[in-house]
Amino acid sequence: MSEPSELAARAEKLDAEDELAGSRARFVLDDVVYLDGNSLGALPAHVPGRIEDVVRRQWGELRIRSWEESGWWTAPERIGDRIAPLVGAAPGQIVVGDSTSVNVFKALVAAVRIAGDGRDEILVDATTFPTDGYIAESAARMTGRTLRPVTPAEVPDALGDRTAAVLLNHVDYRTGRLHDLPSLTAAVRAAGAVSVWDLCHSAGALPVGLDEHGVDLAVGCTYKYLNGGPGSPAYLYVRHGLQDRFDSPLPGWNSHAEPFGMHREFAPASGAMRGRVGTPDILSMLALEAALDVWDGVPVEAVRAKSLALTDFFLECVEAYVPAGRAESVTPGAHAERGSQVALRCADAGQVMKELIARGVVGDFRHPDVLRFGFTPLYVSFADTERAARVLADVLDG
Amino acid sequence: MSEPSELAARAEKLDAEDELAGSRARFVLDDVVYLDGNSLGALPAHVPGRIEDVVRRQWGELRIRSWEESGWWTAPERIGDRIAPLVGAAPGQIVVGDSTSVNVFKALVAAVRIAGDGRDEILVDATTFPTDGYIAESAARMTGRTLRPVTPAEVPDALGDRTAAVLLNHVDYRTGRLHDLPSLTAAVRAAGAVSVWDLCHSAGALPVGLDEHGVDLAVGCTYKYLNGGPGSPAYLYVRHGLQDRFDSPLPGWNSHAEPFGMHREFAPASGAMRGRVGTPDILSMLALEAALDVWDGVPVEAVRAKSLALTDFFLECVEAYVPAGRAESVTPGAHAERGSQVALRCADAGQVMKELIARGVVGDFRHPDVLRFGFTPLYVSFADTERAARVLADVLDG
């Protein structure tokens, strides 16, 4: 077992060698160890100035003219194209807007419609974040399909001629387990079904490869690893080959081929715009656009390498510092199965997290017994990581 | 016919007597006559400072703690209760979030479910803003009902045992016609159907009286007369008596009775919260909350009185200044049938509006031949009104 001084020295060395270390200065941070960027990303330092311009000049001075002159109208697709390289998508396939839940509904209903009438079953990841399950149940009810909850591991065997669509989480919000997107997507496709991936806990933390792996539809939020701000709008990916068949259950005026034609009959827009609904939420959307600047010149592969190094190091520090049996990792040890968080199961986890926060280490608690620590490679250091494990050990010792 | 000098003098007198004149100073305005507040309300002067606090302190410094400490979590219902008095609703019935289109979908599907299986027809205002019709068509398709477009005047005769729900606009977005909410709501109720009102063009401009008139469900946007900012979140009203039967087609984790319980099974929250879906969009929502401060101490009745005085005066000025036959009002002359805008039909309306804007009078153009002028009593003066008509006459003369 390593000594504290040895791990601290190693943290220092790892930080000195970290090619992403420079990104940290682009965020507003204090002396807190912030390991909750998988819930709410930290504020990029240049965002307040950009928002002030949006509010004072674009809204306050240009007012209605900003829909054209400040590019408000085109924001949903323009910002979608900024997210695209982070999830391995060519331009023109992502639209930003609405919440993740609303986008899950659009994607799943559209998926069922693409699959056609002969397929009457929706498979949903039973370990997923609850909202996906609730929304999937509504989508199944409203399209006359049966919802069948399965674990991702059970998906290959559950697939069949009846399968219309499969909704999966790329990374489990609780355990941090990374599911095998390439092979599961291939299996869904081989069964003739339509895949829908929820990228909330993977986008911005690891390469997703939507185009490369032939994903059909995907959704994700932008306030975690993409640092878009509290409740910033989510996004929807529809691969090029399916866009003409994307039949939205929420055909608002913004998704009309001629939105200002004010026609009585609905005629869907082509491309990513078809995924829009109502008037885009400009303040939050442009905060997100500004926040995405921190990704300029940052390869997702480098982010993934650092993420794994951070979670490896955290697990090592926890093992070194925390008394045996006091906290057990429920996050997979294998890199291929790990997202960018470490979840530790421990007794009295809610109280432990309160104490950690009081001592300057911010993670979060997930019912009933999980301590969740998210590692955002753009601003979390190895020194932060060592300190978090050390403080955790102190709390559990106390 | 009045002389220009006479009307200008009258404008001055009316402004001097205007009890709402003081509100104008609460907004950022310049020497433009802004008659497009029915599309995007002007910026309240104190909003930028409030947004800066939300971004720099609440997000930047408190980060995740703000969900509790800055009241982010409770914002959708808290802000709903701020809107409530403006539309005549007691507290606890309005939730803020999502776009108007998404809320129309929630409301209409829920209305059909409340009406029950025996009723298979949805009536929709055929003159309504197109998005309501598109979304109604989707709601009908997904609930197995038939959509029947009617004009508001045809509603009483169209109502019957088959009618499940009726979606109506309070004020027509194009003509500015105000529909008779009390009598139409009573007729819908008498037929055993459920009423859904779209308040986009009435809330903040005139008294609505949701509770008083027994409206079942209502939706509205907040970026027009409520000045919430571009694309600010919409709201949903569900009257107390129906809340337990409100069965949302978008049951996201935020509408769960125990949102942080992360339960597999959905159990709906009680009250207005049941209308939520996903994570609330905090920046836009708190900009709206700040913007609502301009209503403190302002009775909607006073707003309505000034609104009618402004549109009366505008029509009088147009008649006095504009050559006969060059522009025809499609807005009803009767007060009981008029919202807070004047729509003029004229040849080459698109080009005329461009010229008006170039000369400092901002309204908007609605396809194919309508000039739309919105009168927002909190910041439009009678002098603005007289000037707008004068400039319009110049443009049409030139």
pLDDT digits (tens, 9 = 90+) for A79-119: 999 999 999 999 999 999 999 999 999 999 999 999 999 99
Q: Which helix (H) or strand (E) holds B148?
A: strand B146-150
Domain borders along chain A are: 4-30+299-397, 49-295
pLDDT digits (tens, 9 = 90+) for B273-311: 999 999 999 999 999 999 999 999 999 999 999 999 999
What's the pLDDT score for residue A395? 96
Contact A237, A257 (CB under 8 A): no
Contact B264, A133 (CB under 8 A): yes
Cβ-nearest to A130 among B232, B248, B253: B253
Q: Judge whether B28 is closer than 8 Å to chain A, CB to CB.
A: yes
Write out chain B residues lying below 8 Å of A99, CB-based: 98, 252, 277-279, 281
What is each CA distance from B232 to A98, A362, B163, B325, in whole angstroms? 12, 31, 33, 39
Q: Judge whether A44 is closer than 8 Å to chain B, CB to CB.
A: no
Going by pLDDT thresholds of 50, 70 and 90, the confidence category of residue A1 is: low
What's the pLDDT score for residue A2? 65
CA B14 to chain A, closest CA, distance in angstroms equals: 27
SS3 B123: strand
Q: Judge whether B101 is closer than 8 Å to chain A, CB to CB.
A: yes
Mean pLDDT of A10-14: 98
For chain A, give the percent of residues with pLDDT over 90. 93
CATH fit for domain B4-30+298-397, picks 3.40.50.720, 3.90.1300.10, 3.90.1150.10, 3.40.50.1000: 3.90.1150.10
Cα(B318)–Cα(B328) distance, rounded to whole angstroms?
A: 10
Contact B275, B106 (CB under 8 A): yes
Handedness of CA B331, B332, B337, B338 (dihedral sign): positive
What's the pLDDT score for residue B2? 65
CA A6 to chain B, closest CA, distance in angstroms equals: 32
Tell me whether residues A42 and B63 touch, CB distance under 8 A.
Answer: yes
**Chain B residue with minimal CA distance to A364?**
B64
pLDDT digits (tens, 9 = 90+) for A107-154: 999 999 999 999 999 999 987 778 899 999 999 999 999 999 999 999
* Residue B105 annotated as binding site: no
Q: Round the average pLDDT of chain A to a whole number and report it.
A: 96
Mean pLDDT of A310-325: 96
Which of A262, A285, A372 to mutate: most B Cβ within 10 Å? A262
Q: Judge whether B22 is closer than 8 Å to chain A, CB to CB.
A: no
Q: Which of residues 192-251 of B touch A (CB under 8 A)?
A: 221, 223, 229-234, 248-251
CA A368 to chain B, closest CA, distance in angstroms equals: 8
**Residues of B catalogued as catalytic:** 129, 198, 223-224, 372
SS3 A160: coil
Cβ-nearest to B250 among A43, A105, A279: A105
**Chain B residue with minimal CA distance to A52?**
B48
- What b/e readout covers B136-161, taking b as 16+ CB neighbours within 10 angstroms? bbbbbebbebebbbbebeebeebbee
Phi-psi region for residue B38, left (φ > 0), alpha (ψ -120 to 50) or beta?
Answer: alpha
Cα(B313)–Cα(B385) distance, rounded to whole angstroms?
A: 7
Residue A96 contacts by C-beta under 8 Å, 6 or more apart in sequence?
A75, A76, A77, A79, A80, A83, A222, A233, A234, A235, A280, A285, A288
Cβ-nearest to B134 among A126, A251, A285: A251
Handedness of CA B21, B26, B32, B34 (dihedral sign): negative
CA B290 from chain centre, in angstroms, equals 18
Write out chain B residues lying below 8 Å of A149, CB-based: 264
Q: Tokens 């090619």 correspond to what residue?
A: A19
User: Which architecture characterizes domain A4-30+299-397 according to CATH?
Assistant: Alpha-Beta Complex (3.90)
What is each CA distance from A152 to A68, A343, B48, B316, in whole angstroms? 45, 19, 46, 69
Q: Which of residues 55-84 of B touch A (CB under 8 A)?
A: 55-56, 58-61, 63-64, 66-67, 72
Q: Where are the beta strands (DSSP E) in chain A?
A: 33-34, 94-96, 121-125, 146-150, 163-169, 194-198, 217-220, 235-238, 328-329, 341-345, 361-362, 364-366, 370-374
Going by pLDDT thresholds of 50, 70 and 90, the confidence category of residue A12 is: very high
Cβ-nearest to A249 among B98, B138, B284: B138
**Residues of A catalogued as catalytic:** 129, 198, 223-224, 372
Going by pLDDT thresholds of 50, 70 and 90, the confidence category of residue A5 is: confident
pLDDT digits (tens, 9 = 90+) for A184-229: 999 999 999 999 999 999 999 999 999 999 999 999 999 999 999 9
**Chain B residue with minimal CA distance to A28?**
B60
Cα(B167)–Cα(B93) distance, rounded to whole angstroms?
A: 19
pLDDT digits (tens, 9 = 90+) for A342-379: 999 999 999 999 999 999 999 999 888 999 999 999 99
What's the pLDDT score for residue B131? 86
Write out chain A residues lying below 8 Å of B250, CB-based: 101-102, 105, 135, 138
pLDDT digits (tens, 9 = 90+) for A271-291: 999 999 999 999 999 999 999
**Chain A residue with minimal CA distance to B142?**
A142
Question: ω into residue B85 within 30 of 0, thus cis?
Answer: no
* Residue B74 annotated as binding site: no
Cβ-nearest to A283 among B101, B266, B283: B283
Q: Would the CATH topology of A4-30+299-397 be identical to that of A49-295?
A: no
CA B40 to chain A, closest CA, distance in angstroms equals: 6
CA B28 to chain A, closest CA, distance in angstroms equals: 6
Write out chain B residues lying below 8 Å of A98, CB-based: 98-99, 102, 278
CATH number of A49-295: 3.40.640.10
What's the pLDDT score for residue A302? 97
pLDDT by 10-residue block (mean), chain B, 398 residues: 84 98 96 96 98 98 96 98 98 98 98 97 87 95 97 97 98 95 98 98 98 98 98 98 98 91 89 96 97 96 98 97 94 97 96 97 93 98 98 93
